[in-house]
Chains A and B, each alone.
Chain A
Amino acid sequence: MYMNSRYVQQFKKGSLEMILLCLIGRKETYGYEIITELNNSASVLGYAKEGTIYPILYRLQEAELIKCRLAPAAANGGSKKYYALTDKGKDVLRELILFWESYANCVNGFIASYQQAEVSE
């Protein structure tokens, strides 16, 4: 019932960049594949839209975390853009993952202490 609340939206918004970096870092990929991948494997995120994903791709590209190359694609309006991580992108993703892990630990700690207090009440 609260899955679409503002709080949940905030979580998603903050982590989508890291998720995209992971997806792109795994192997070179293109727009439609990213959308499909997100919709197939990350249903908890909700429906991924180009209107959400492309602005983030532009931001990651502006920050030089990802790079792209155009490959000719006859059935695809002429060309297809493939995204890959830059070296800087790999470094940033490594840092983000470390941060995410310690952050999750920290949040889990608060959750555990809350649940304990609730039980002893």
Chain B
Amino acid sequence: MKERYIKQVEKELALPGKAKKEIARDLNEVFASALEHGETEQQVIQRLGTPKEFADGAAEQFGVDNTAAKKRKDRIYALAACIIAVAALSIYAIAGVRRGPAGAIGQADAATNIQVVGTFDVLQIILAAGIAAALVAILLTIRSISKNRR
């Protein structure tokens, strides 16, 4: 329970490794001291608060807004997913236009047909990737909006 608590705090901390290590050491001491005085790990955890509460409280004192740092990370991921989605969908659109509508004059000879089929597969993958990235972007955005409301 103690190890899990400390690990979770470390996970929640948006701080440089050195500060994280120090906080983990302090938490180890907190647990060890309390156990030495006959307290249970559960009692100590009650006094520490949830891992997130403790991490946010500690990070704030180091001049870092933990929640904001995490939000920033989420936003960067959402932006990256957005860029990938736009890139993939535009490649799909441009390639689709270049290919021309199916059955257009001049596209009907056998050699072209084979090529078109090949291109189509790659394009499908790109389209799927684009849609997936768009979904990820939308999910991340929804998550960060609902977090902001909380």
Query: Measuring CB to CB, which residues of chain A are less than 8 angstroms from any residue of chain B?
Result: 30-32, 35, 49-52, 54-56, 58-59, 62, 75-81
Contacts and interface: CB of A to CB of B under 8 A. Distances in A.
A80 B31 CA distance: 11
A78 B26 CA distance: 11
Given A49-B48, A58-B62, 8 more contacts: A32-B34, A32-B37, A51-B57, A54-B57, A54-B58, A55-B57, A58-B23, A62-B61
Closest 5 CB pairs between A and B? Answer: A77-B32, A32-B33, A58-B61, A59-B61, A51-B49
Nearest to B32: A77
A62 B60 contact: no
A76 B62 contact: no
A55 B48 contact: no
Nearest to B28: A77
B120 interface: no
B58 A55 contact: yes
Contact of A76 (B33, B49, B57): B33
A14 to B, nearest CB: 16
Contacts of B60: 55
